[in-house]
Structure 1
Amino acid sequence: MGRGNEAGEICRQILARDPAHVQSLNLLGLMAQASSDHRGAVKMFAKAIAADEVNAACHYNAGNSYQSLGNRGKAVAHFTKALALGMEGKAVAFILQSPVITAYGARIAGKWPLPVTNVELFGTEGVTPLANDLFLRCAMEATTLASMQLEVLLGHARAELLRLAGEQGEDNGEVDEDIVAFACALARQCFITEYAYGQAAEESELASRLRDRMLQDLASGAAITPLTLAVVAAYFPIHAMPETDALLRRDWPATVAGLLRVQLHEPLEEMGERAAIATLGPIKDSVSVEVMRQYEENPYPRWTINPLNAFAADQARGKIIQTAEQQASLDILIAGCGTGSHAIQIAQVYPNARLLAVDISMTSLAYARRKTRELGLRNIEYAQADILELGTIDRTFDHIESVGVLHHLVEPMAGWRVLVSLLRPGGRMRIGLYSSLARRVIVEARARIAARGYRATADDMRRCRQDIIREAEHWRTLIGAKDFYSMSGCRDLLFNVMEHHFTIPEIAAFLNDNGLSFLGFEPFDDATVIEKFHKQFPGAADEANLDQWHRFETDHPETFWDMYVFMAGKNAH
């Protein structure tokens, strides 16, 4: 309301009674920030963080003030902490609020659907204004930036850095360290997305030439500039090139060393992890073999931020109190663990449990095992297996999780029955399946892909994505999906080898035929879903009634866009 003095006085009155009141400290800091008193602001944010060190918003706000004060080290530290503590999902929204980003977006939109040139977009300043955005740099290193607007902008920035690196090779001039740091952050973003950005033929040719020149210099022992290395890494994964482990023996600035850790050191570690992963039975079904090949080439999902952070933050605030079941010594099966994020979260929720996490992709398992070892978790055993063959392992479990996996089997219900056979009486399972109603846009997109002859190759998937971006109005649902913004996600979403869809009556029939009781859907991200559900069945709404949920979904087909995720219990007798 613009009544800052009054708001400040209310905050001070609260702090007189409760000196560690985080919201008041944070608000006073924001008011100081708005008045350009950044020294006063950081003092308030520091007090707020001392009272609640896992408050992502306070770390983000502190980062902004430290950046305004020119203390880049502290700004980066606070921004990185904010992203790790749960701001990851809000990063795009915060980045798009930046006046610099808004200005670039307006220039791109002013020419749309025609392409804007880099001269029109960046003018004489080049990418310097982008390079000076420390939160953007931190976010690019930390998470997939799922935004069509940002992807288009960063694609232009990558091409501009490629031009700059080519010119640097001609005159060997020095490049500002912020430009190099920005190039490294962009290369890490491109690696996270598995090089999903579109690129013109001329750009691809220039990038290939720069890569070849860098490899020649590496072989001959000649100098390689940090910008050259970063730009090459923004177009090609360093670990996939010959003899690049020699790069680790050279001295680099910290930003380049961080890039090499992600693109070279960690992939080499994952190759070493494969030997320690057991295989439980054969993978012989022809569709299972094709699915395995898909996830070997595109392990899904490639995640970076530690999933324990947000859980630990909520636990520290007392928002999570472990139940007796969560503290028990349970045997848990994760059937289809992918790259390990799911298994790691379950290991945190059930710290005394013994977890067996299986997946069909050895590449995904190696990634999962490396991340698990980094986090110091010791209660997860990883193994390669086909769910259809798990009935031979001679083990049973108190709890089974299989989310987003069964619908990729040649016979999902056969795989589900195998899991039921492994569940002890009275045990529970958490299942995730695609909805026929919610996935209609995916069916339409896959039909379009088949008609245009796109294959599941990197080049074809990039071209397909660019087609969808050009027809953005029609494909809003797809463009709003995080999976659209990485190659593994896009392949999982639109090019999957095998994908089945289900209806609620089909799920109800399976539960009834296999001695399972429906225990409810997971809480919805959209809090209004339950409100609408109760409004549709006034006085008679039953959240455990699948018939009611089927009627509700028929009227609201977007309800289960991600998938049906629900708990089921195995009857004791």
Structure 2
Amino acid sequence: MNRKERRAAGKRRDESAGNAPAFGSAGIGIADLAAEASRFYGMRRFNEAQEICRQILAREPGHVQSLNLLGLMAQAAGDHRSAVKTFAKAIASDAVNAACHYNAGNSYQALDNRAKAVAHFSKALALGMDAKAVGFIMQSPTVTAYIGRIAGKWPLPVTSAELFGTDSVARLARDLFLCAALEATTLASMQLEVLLGYARAALLRRASDQDAADDEIVGFACALARQCFINEYAYGQSQAEGELAGALRDRLLQDLASAAAIAPITLAVVAAYFPLHALPGTDALLRRDWPKAVAGLLKVQLREPREEMAERSAIATLTPIKNDVSVEVMRQYEENPYPRWTINPLTAFAADRARGRTVATAEQQAKLDILIAGCGTGSHAIQIAQVYPNARVLAVDISMTSLAYARRKTRELGLHNIEYAQADILELGAIGRTFDSIESVGVLHHLAEPFAGWRVLVSLLRPGGTMRIGLYSDLARRVIVEARARIVARNYRTTADDIRRCRQDIFREAEQWKPLIGAKDFYSMSGCRDLLFNVMEHRLTIPEIAAFLNEHGLSFGGFEPFDDPAVLDQFRKQFPGTADETNLEQWHRFEVEHPETFWDMYVFTVGKNVR
């Protein structure tokens, strides 16, 4: 599934609160009226905006944008009871509208209805708002105030007392969207990570002193522990903090062994420093009664990892893993399966299709054979399986740990058209199968010989078939090359402690490493290892790609749409009147002048010519 399709399928994730795009209209002029209402709302001319919204609703009672705007204006007036009723009407018309769920969550929080606020915030995140969660969190006055205090002394540390005062983390704990986001997705922000590191240390001291904690604090501690589990404990910590956390862990294990009472705050804080499934005897925790927040934490840190262990026995091995580099790469992804994702990226798309709002194209309805070569933890395969529900998807990866995670997530989503197997791409030529479509994004450049692996995939592609490939750019990844050289010079190893130490050193030199600090992968242990510590990384050029395509009779179908539309504008200006988006020679000349263009990867499609 290409980037354009993903954007179309998940368009609601781009609807920020109060800024949803105008919806189509069954009546003449409704779209124009909705645009006018939005304009008046933006100018805070609420009377005019309300009048236009009512006119629209008289003609189309379920018009979501108008209902959303009326709800936002009720919020602005402090009338949250009216606001939640209006948002409920909007959600009844469009249950997968992330913005409406987020707005409803804000009003329910203002009404002190924590359960409904969290439910709507969690729904908004599941519907795509996770991609912008950091931006919404940063709108919180509480969060920005704390970050400002830290920045005032950075890079020198502040004390918890200076930062939080007598409230400790209570004000953060009351931010229910923050709590929901902590449980749902990696929060990729240096400023936020530093703040949450202070919060974790404050909770550690509280639990170590055996201070009582109310449900609000326990809930926040559990949410923070889930965030730490998602990012695989990437946060930095001082030696003293690590020793205190170790002592609290030991106390917990002693109490567990002796069947003594365990305070929920103690369990939550230990889980914020150590994955519970990796500690001895912790299955006994599942036999105790816990508050809802702790039960949710145990599900993520104990039940699900146990389920993944059970999944391993159901995964077939299609090929041997015998290449020396392949063995090293496998070891890396066994230790750090990548990427660790939590939210189905096509939730809104799947809901719309189930309700008949979107109709699959003929290609999407076809019974295709699709190969995902290097599926990692399954996000890619799951997207393809949802877009092509009648396809037979074979998803292979070198890491059994990654595949087990993928199988668990696939089972949770109720998908039945994916077959997972362990295999080395270099050996796939022996499986005796061919495919209508092959996808291998972000994988070939980790092989001992990328072009050897690519040749194997070409041999498995049927004539007339299509292939989607993602490869690292030599020009774009200069900063990665610099960072990898720095890692060697400073002798950072691939241990968790050294990766944490490396990340903290990069934070201290933030100005030099902005591209790294802006990359989401930097904010999890597996992501950072994949980004900076990979055991094998090849970087390619467009001329090398073009030569391979020519040699193997493959036609270039174009790069995927860019997140920044200005890239294509620049490309067309550079070649006025002759710009051809399928001309790799032009793209090479363009990249030389704009080396950051393919920072993520070259991601493109090719077709296999029929001979």
Distance across 2 between alignment mates of 1:291 and 1:93 = 35
Distance across 2 between alignment mates of 1:242 and 1:505 = 54
Query: Does residue 301 in structure 1 map to residue 339 in structure 2?
Result: yes
Query: Does residue 49 in structure 1 map to residue 91 in structure 2?
Result: yes
Cα-to-partner distance string for 1:26-72 (whole Å, 9 max, x where unaligned): 11111110111111111111111111111000000000000000111
Distance across 2 between alignment mates of 1:501 and 1:34 = 52
Choose the corresponding residue for 1:540, options 575, 578, 582: 578
Choose the corresponding residue for 1:25, options 48, 67, 72: 67
Show the 5 A alignment for 1:401-440.
401-440=439-478
Query: Does residue 206 in structure 1 map to residue 248 in structure 2?
Result: no
Distance across 2 between alignment mates of 1:347 and 1:3 = 46
Distance across 2 between alignment mates of 1:565 and 1:318 = 31
Query: Does residue 78 in structure 1 map to residue 116 in structure 2?
Result: no
1:2 offset after TM fit, Å? Answer: 2.9
Distance 1:320 1:521, change over 3 A: farther
1:473 offset after TM fit, Å? Answer: 0.8
Choose the corresponding residue for 2:200, options 158, 176, 180: 158
Distance 1:554 1:285, change over 3 A: same
Match of 1:399 in 2: 437
Choose the corresponding residue for 2:223, options 181, 185, 196: 185
Runs of 4+ in 1 over 3 A off after TM superposition: 313-321
Moved more, 321-330 or 70-79: 321-330
Show the 5 A alignment for 1:288-367.
288-313=326-351, 315=353, 320-367=358-405
Match of 1:120 in 2: 162
Match of 1:444 in 2: 482
SS, match of residue 167 in structure 2: coil
Distance across 1 between alignment mates of 2:500 and 2:586 = 41
| Matched-pair contact (CA < 8 Å) for 1:85–1:313 | no
**For residue 392 of structure 2, what is the amino acid of its counterpart?**
R
Show the 5 A alignment for 1:169-184.
174-184=212-222
SS, match of residue 465 in structure 1: helix
Cα-to-partner distance string for 1:343-365 (whole Å, 9 max, x where unaligned): 00000111001111000000000
Distance across 2 between alignment mates of 1:157 and 1:525 = 34
Distance 1:344 1:533, change over 3 A: same
Show the 5 A alignment for 1:146-295.
146-168=188-210, 174-295=212-333
Query: Does residue 136 in structure 1 map to residue 178 in structure 2?
Result: yes
Cα-to-partner distance string for 1:182-230 (whole Å, 9 max, x where unaligned): 0000000000000000000000000000000000000111011110000
1:14 offset after TM fit, Å? Answer: 1.7
Match of 1:375 in 2: 413
1:324 offset after TM fit, Å? Answer: 1.1
Match of 2:591 in 1: 553
1:320 offset after TM fit, Å? Answer: 4.8
**For residue 264 of structure 2, what is the amino acid of its counterpart?**
P
Query: Does residue 568 in structure 1 map to residue 606 in structure 2?
Result: yes
Distance across 2 between alignment mates of 1:148 and 1:93 = 13
Distance across 2 between alignment mates of 1:317 and 1:150 = 38
Cα-to-partner distance string for 1:113-135 (whole Å, 9 max, x where unaligned): 11111111000010000000000
Distance across 1 between alignment mates of 2:550 and 2:358 = 33
Distance across 2 between alignment mates of 1:36 and 1:176 = 28
Moved more, 343-352 or 303-312: 303-312
SS, match of residue 124 in structure 1: helix
1:313 offset after TM fit, Å? Answer: 4.7
Choose the corresponding residue for 1:93, options 135, 140, 163: 135
Match of 2:547 in 1: 509
Cα-to-partner distance string for 1:404-427 (whole Å, 9 max, x where unaligned): 000000100000000000111111
**For residue 213 of structure 2, what is the amino acid of its counterpart?**
V
1:23 offset after TM fit, Å? Answer: 0.9
Distance across 2 between alignment mates of 1:183 and 1:566 = 43
Show the 5 A alignment for 1:443-462.
443-462=481-500
**For residue 131 of structure 2, what is the amino acid of its counterpart?**
G
Distance across 1 between alignment mates of 2:403 and 2:343 = 17
Match of 2:516 in 1: 478
| Matched-pair contact (CA < 8 Å) for 1:295–1:364 | yes
Count of residue pairs the alignment pairs up:
569
Distance 1:320 1:438, change over 3 A: farther
SS, match of residue 578 in structure 2: coil
| Matched-pair contact (CA < 8 Å) for 1:330–1:399 | yes
**For residue 226 of structure 1, what is the amino acid of its counterpart?**
P
Match of 1:13 in 2: 55
1:85 offset after TM fit, Å? Answer: 0.5
SS, match of residue 398 in structure 1: strand
Percent identity over the alignment is 80
Query: Does residue 497 in structure 1 map to residue 529 in structure 2?
Result: no
**For residue 120 of structure 1, what is the amino acid of its counterpart?**
E
Query: Does residue 465 in structure 1 map to residue 511 in structure 2?
Result: no
Cα-to-partner distance string for 1:105-152 (whole Å, 9 max, x where unaligned): 110011111111111100001000000000000000000000001100
Moved more, 552-561 or 1-10: 1-10
Distance across 1 between alignment mates of 2:72 and 2:573 = 40
Cα-to-partner distance string for 1:280-323 (whole Å, 9 max, x where unaligned): 12111111000000000000011111223032255479885422
Distance across 2 between alignment mates of 1:535 and 1:326 = 35
Gaps of 5+ in 1: none
Instruction: Provide the TM-score with structure 1 as the length reference.
Output: 0.98
Distance across 2 between alignment mates of 1:373 and 1:401 = 22
Moved more, 314-323 or 326-335: 314-323
Distance across 2 between alignment mates of 1:7 and 1:269 = 52
1:4 offset after TM fit, Å? Answer: 1.6
Distance across 1 between alignment mates of 2:310 and 2:136 = 38
Moved more, 374-383 or 207-216: 374-383
**For residue 92 of structure 1, what is the amino acid of its counterpart?**
V
Instruction: Provide the TM-score with structure 2 as the length reference.
Output: 0.92
**For residue 440 of structure 2, what is the amino acid of its counterpart?**
S
1:533 offset after TM fit, Å? Answer: 1.6
**For residue 554 of structure 1, what is the amino acid of its counterpart?**
V
SS, match of residue 111 in structure 1: coil
1:397 offset after TM fit, Å? Answer: 0.6
SS, match of residue 152 in structure 2: helix
Distance across 2 between alignment mates of 1:320 and 1:493 = 36
SS, match of residue 399 in structure 1: strand
